Chains A and B, each alone.
Chain A
Amino acid sequence: MADELDVLESAALAELRELQTLSQLEAWRVRYLGKKSTLTSALRALSALPPEQRRTAGAHSNAVKASLQSEYEARKQELSLSTIGESIGGACLDVTLPGRALPIGRLHPITQVIQEICSVFARMGFQVIDGPEVEWDYYNFEALNIPQDHPARDMFATLWLDSSEDRNARLLRTHTSPMQIRIMEEHRPPLRFVVPGRTYRYEATDATHDWMFHQVEGLAVDSDITLRDLKETLFEFCRSIFGRDTGVRFRCDYFPFVEPGGEIAIECFQCRGGGCRLCGSTGWLEILGTGMVHPDVLARCGIDPSVYSGFAFGMGVERITILRYGVDDIRHFYSGDFRFLRQF
């Protein structure tokens, strides 16, 4: 009896694997699992056996039945899936036809880079705020140690709204640094801020210069901030943005509102420091200007420079974007050419 069932099971399973349609499967089910099937009769016959035999024979029959049942379910699943195509008309879909398109929107590359820069600094505890683009001479120059007739005014060709002779003249900010003053006037240390925004210069445009561009300004002021903190923070920034292995250089530089002042450059990723056209054969790409907030600037904002110190920095977003993506012409950014914008 037990042998009989085993033979039955292997025959049924072999047959099952050959089945191709759901109707064949149904016939199989009736034959092996239906009311008139051998297995059902065998189970029915159990009651005639003595109790001892009944237990072992019953367990065996039930196991065979369970096995056939589960193989049946699995096969049914397979056949249902493979016959779906037939049920909806017999033909398969051309899955290579384009899907119904959703319109694809994108952020401007400059917005993307600003957000990336700000989020790196946000991770280091800097808050993001905005500031005005139309500024007073005082905030853009005077309060930053660049009074009238200071030679450093040459560094900033300015678009004026009023006569540049006027001490209360308004102008389009030439850098985001005026926000250093506005922040320090309004808040007391400890301070950590970044300020992204538009800036303007009186400048003829060509492939590498535009009169409107974006900067991200940064400011940190506290009682124990040093040049070393500056270097550590900004090196971390460069490596976050340009890659952990990027070589970074910190050198002395001059901006009237910082002292000591500096500049941070990254290793040219085109020539790896050997010198090429991109880096002007120096092997380095200047990324940002920085320095310790000048004691006169702190004092002007009512912060005691003998107690507090801080660092500030400013970077050009277009420059970073151009370097990052190898953009060949800065004027593409504001031309609105879809062929350009779609690539980011």
Chain B
Amino acid sequence: MRVPLKWLLEYVPGDWTAEFIAERLTLAGIEVGAIERIGQTWNDVCVGYVTDVQPHPNADRLRLVTVDCGTSSSTVVCGAPNVATGQRVAFARVGALLIDGHSGKPASLKPAKIRGVLSEGMVCSEKELGLSEDHTSTIELPQDAPIGLPLADYMGEVVLELELTPNRPDCLSIIGVAREVAALLGGALRLPEVSLEGQGESVKDMVTVSIEDGDDCHRYCATVVKGIKLGPSPSWMQERLKASGMRPISNVVDITNYVMLEYGQPLHAFDYDTLSGRKIVVRRAREGEVFRTLDDVERRLGPGVLVIADGERPVGIAGIMGGSNTEVSESTSTILLEAANFDRAVIRRGCATLGLRTEASLRFDKGLHPDFAYTAVQRATMLLAEICGGVPAREVYDAYPACAEDRVVTLPAGEVKRLSGMDIPGDEVNRVLESLGFVQTRGDDFETCFLVPYWRGDVVGPADLVEDVIRVMGYDHIPVGTPRFTTATVMVPADLWEFKSRLRQLMAGAGFQELLTYSLSSRENLVLLSPDASLAHEPLTIANPMSREMECLRTSLRASVLDVVARNRRREHGPVRVFELSRVYFPRGKDLPVEAETLCAVLSGYSEEVSWHHGERPMDFYDAKGALEYLLAKCGVSAGFIPGDDVGLFPGRRADVIVDGEKLAVVGQIHPAVARSFEVDAHTLLFEIDVAKLMACMSGIVEYAPLSRFPYSERDLAIVVDNDVPYARVAEIIGGFDLVSRASLFDVYRGEQIPPGKKSFAIRLVFQASDRTLTDAEINKVQQKLLSKLESSVGATLRS
């Protein structure tokens, strides 16, 4: 909403600056987003009087125009065809800052020789003054414009640009804003006098209005005005409309727009003579009914849309836009003026159906009070009589099926203090509310009742009154001390949130960069995660997706993490260790989906930055496994790794991670087909953890074992087993020997020195007892027992 300051101050006179008004309005909830100053840069531009126009000696299209500026007179070369002797124009002297016609940027006006004639100044179009894009003709000022007056003083304007919230449709009007300013700054309201005395016929003899459903249309006010002379509206009205961002069209249309801006009530003028049957019917459109709106678009309507019809056809879409079939034109002499009140939901749905929003619908869909219609139709009719020479019929046609009831809100004593924490005397509360138009209807020691002014549809309860009191006094007056922390609170376990934070910290500590990526994904990307293009889970889809890339709620983090890896790979090389801990979404029919917190880590490239310390080693399965083991160890979880079956991973280079028989993670190399699809290195590894399951596995309490006071002994053991014996089996057997306190695998060997089909494990064993020093003999015995156990269980032999 654009509010020209001069217009505003006409209704609430005062000498406040624009900044001051803007600040107070903003603090009170009517946000002024910007202050525009039209004419701020118009130095050296004044009202000029054209005393002479002569042809240019050397050019047919140019003329020499002599302009009187009060104190001086200049002759300039001018190309605009409309300049004529006797006009008042906007004249720029040399040095004026004007918008350059070609570059569109401000530039200082310089003297110029045009086709041999020196031109020192310019007769300006709207474009040069930054008023519009029009530069085909120069501005013609009204005949009463004082010659020599700086143009900024004559037609400069300050405009407040309001960014309104949907609860305050009353401020979509100059009068509404004036009411706020009056209350906030203590000004007196001076509103236009509205009273209509028609002549001639009664409006009831000229039209009948029927409303099919009072829920759709709460009120329909109409007047008929005869003897209209169509023409341009007066310049003061045009200036105000332009400053408010509307294009002047004709006196009749301008008046309807002017009153809409003034009161916030949309109006529409029909050419009365084109209405069939002298009838107005407010009804739903019929299925498939076709209608051409004023913007010259043919629209197919349906019962979702409310229309204004005459005796036979629609003539307007209620509250949104009129029709070309009844448009006011040069030949119009009688008009029917409508100011109606439509249900906001009906208008909203109509706009959605038609994909059309207008200044009118903008005001209706927030909810307007029916009282506006009656006032606005009278005000507009008065202006039609005054400006267009029209003769209004007697009375206003007022179809008002169910009169809106007054609303009274009760404010309990102490409520202002209870909600605001501020001690405000009752008298002060009453004074503030009255300044906003509330009327006290009753009051005692316990409560006060206030009649809500009709334009404040947003006020329904005592909390609304408290807000009004505090915002007028100013939220900035609420004192600020140290916050009170006296409140005890319900304690809810925040385990998952805290656990997620901890996992993120651990991953970052292990050298992984955290990523956050979009929750939505394309179906293709999810499909590409399995080499056979199958989807393990059908994802949920968005009903109104913004694009196909953002169509599905992802069921895996892999696709987006791999995308990030690929994109970065195009920019730089070097080791990649990334992870994301976010949700994936598994559908549950029509219910809300399961939102599973998942950690997906990807490793790719060489293990370290290229460095003088060592050669380059591509990361492999064991890099990923090592990071995962680190994470599990830090969480106090001991897990088993078994060959896995994740289809997105490389067969034979993938593992499932099992705790208590349940799979909580997978780890492995990306399947080559997947790596190709996502354009990442073939040697790309990942692990993926079900975070909630991991949290559930955490044992919580550490099992403490007393420290041994006795020395330890180390022995290295090399055994040979079949190739298919997993190390985990060997480790498990060793783990069964209490006196072996630690075992580290330090070599795995296959090759010439051992038989084919075999491999050797070299293991460093640490022997230690908690209650004595172990003798060599004892250790030998244990080791012998271990060997025979390994032999009987996994066919191990001592490597010779």
Contact = CB atoms under 8 A, between A and B. Distances in A.
Interface in B333-385: 344-345, 348-349, 365-367
A233 interface: yes
A312 interface: no
A81 to B, nearest CB: 26
Interface in B537-569: 540-546, 550, 553, 563-564, 567-568
Nearest to A311: B419
Nearest to A119: B501
Nearest to B560: A336
A231 B475 contact: yes
B694 interface: no
Contact of A105 (B166, B483, B514, B553): B514
Interface residues of A, number: 95
Nearest to B168: A254
B166 A134 contact: no
A105 B510 contact: yes
A142 to B, nearest CB: 14
Contact of B613 (A100, A172, A254): A100
A125 B490 CA distance: 11
B345 A111 contact: no
Given A129-B497, A151-B348, A231-B478, A101 B543 contact: no
A269 interface: no
A282 B26 CA distance: 10
B585 to A, nearest CB: 6
B27 interface: yes
A276 to B, nearest CB: 13
A108 B505 CA distance: 11
Query: Range of interface residues on chain B?
Result: 35 or more
Contacts of A151: 166, 169, 344, 348, 365-367
Contact of A101 (B489, B518, B608): B608
Given A191-B490, A226-B420, A253-B165, A107 B505 contact: yes
Contact of A155 (B29, B166, B516, B590): B166
A97 B612 contact: yes
Contact of A228 (B420, B518, B575): B420
Contacts of A71: none
Contacts of B515: 108, 336, 341
Interface stretch (B460-468, B632-640, B655-663): B460-468
Contacts of B165: 253-254
B153 to A, nearest CB: 25
A130 B567 contact: no
Interface string B301-338: 00000000000000000000000000000000000000
Interface string A42-73: 00000000000000000000000000000000
B511 A104 contact: yes
Given A132-B595, A191-B490, A294-B463, A236 B609 contact: no
A211 B550 contact: yes
A101 B519 CA distance: 34
B403 interface: no
B481 interface: yes
A231 B480 contact: yes
Contacts of B61: none
Contacts of B101: none
B543 A130 contact: no
Given A155-B166, A161-B541, A227 B546 contact: no
B508 A202 contact: no
19 contacts: A100-B611, A105-B577, A129-B492, A132-B595, A133-B585, A160-B544, A161-B541, A170-B592, A190-B487, A190-B490, A227-B422, A232-B481, A235-B480, A251-B26, A251-B475, A252-B475, A261-B29, A337-B567, A341-B515
Interface of B: 26-29, 31, 33-34, 165-169, 344-345, 348-349, 365-367, 417-422, 461-464, 466-467, 470-471, 475-476, 478-485, 487-492, 494, 496-498, 501, 504-505, 507-520, 540-546, 550, 553, 563-564, 567-568, 571-572, 575, 577-578, 582-583, 585, 590, 592-593, 595, 608-609, 611-613
A-B pairs with the 6 shortest C-beta distances?
Answer: A103-B511, A228-B421, A226-B421, A336-B564, A252-B29, A260-B467
